[in-house]
Amino acid sequence: MTMLCKDSDLLAFESRIFKAEGLEQFIVVRGGGASISGSSLTCGGVDFIAAGVQEGFAVYVNEPESGFEGYFSVLSCDASNQLTIAPPAAQGLQAGELFSIGSLNLLIASFSAVIEAVSLELCSLMGIRPAVSDAEFGAEDILDSRLTANCAAAGALAQLMLSAQCGNPDADEALLSDKREMYEELFERSKEALIVEMRNAEGRQRKYCFACGELERG
């Protein structure tokens, strides 16, 4: 699977997408009675390993009585019922500032299928593997992935806003439509701004620049 960004990259842009309203087909774990202590999250009755939870996934938790809800990125999957987590910067918390709280409902949705589709579109645009099977360079050769990650995240979110709009009859269609248009515009602008440097296993270097429309020798 080729993914130029992770769920945690989407989390930085649009955390509420991980409540998965209208996107139930992307839910990989749902549980209750979860607790957070420091940077450790545990939840009985679930199997994170069997569900394929890994670094880069995102977790949504809520506690109905207090109204607390939070969004966290997964740093590692340590056991079938335990994760190491970190809060996104958007929540204004640092890892050392995580608190202890229990009786949480937990939901993990992964949008990897959508991210992969957008990633392949970008690989095709850049003329690299795996979209172009016989290309000299591949996605693994990208040296600095920040621009491609932001671009892929915007493209994935544009598609997810459309899916959420179609999948939730109670959704605020105007809001989702506005967000979809915003991320579509950001995706197009990000593609136009792409400058990607690559180095393959043989040490050969290339630079992709959207304005040039081709791979150029660096």
CATH code at 32? 2.40.30
Strand order in the sheet with 205-209: 195-199, 205-209, 214-217
The tens digit of pLDDT for each residue in 17-28 reads 999 999 999 999
Residue 105 and residue 117 share a domain: no
Among 66, 84, 109, residue at a domain's last position: 109
Q: What is the pLDDT of residue 215?
A: 60
pLDDT range class, residue 167, cuts 50, 70, 90:
confident
Beta-bridged to residue 61, according to DSSP, are: 70, 106
Owning domain of residue 49: 24-109
Tell whether 122 is covered by a domain.
Answer: yes
Classified as helix, coil or strand, 79 is strand
Has residue 201 got a pLDDT over 70? yes
Domain identity same for 146 and 205: yes
The helix/strand/coil state of 93 is coil
SS3 159: helix
Last residue of a domain, one of 51, 85, 109: 109
Last residue of a domain, which of 51, 79, 109? 109
Number of domains within the chain: 2
**Structural tokens at position 49:** 């390993």
Same domain flag for 95 and 119: no
> Do the domain assignments include residue 67?
yes
pTM above 0.75, yes or no: yes
What is the distance between the terminal CA atoms of the chain, rounded to a whole angstrom?
28
How large is the average pLDDT for residues 58-67? 92
pLDDT tens digits for range 75-90: 999 999 999 998 764 4
- With H, G, I as helix, E, B as strand and everything else as coil, classify residue 210: coil
In a domain, 10, yes or no: no
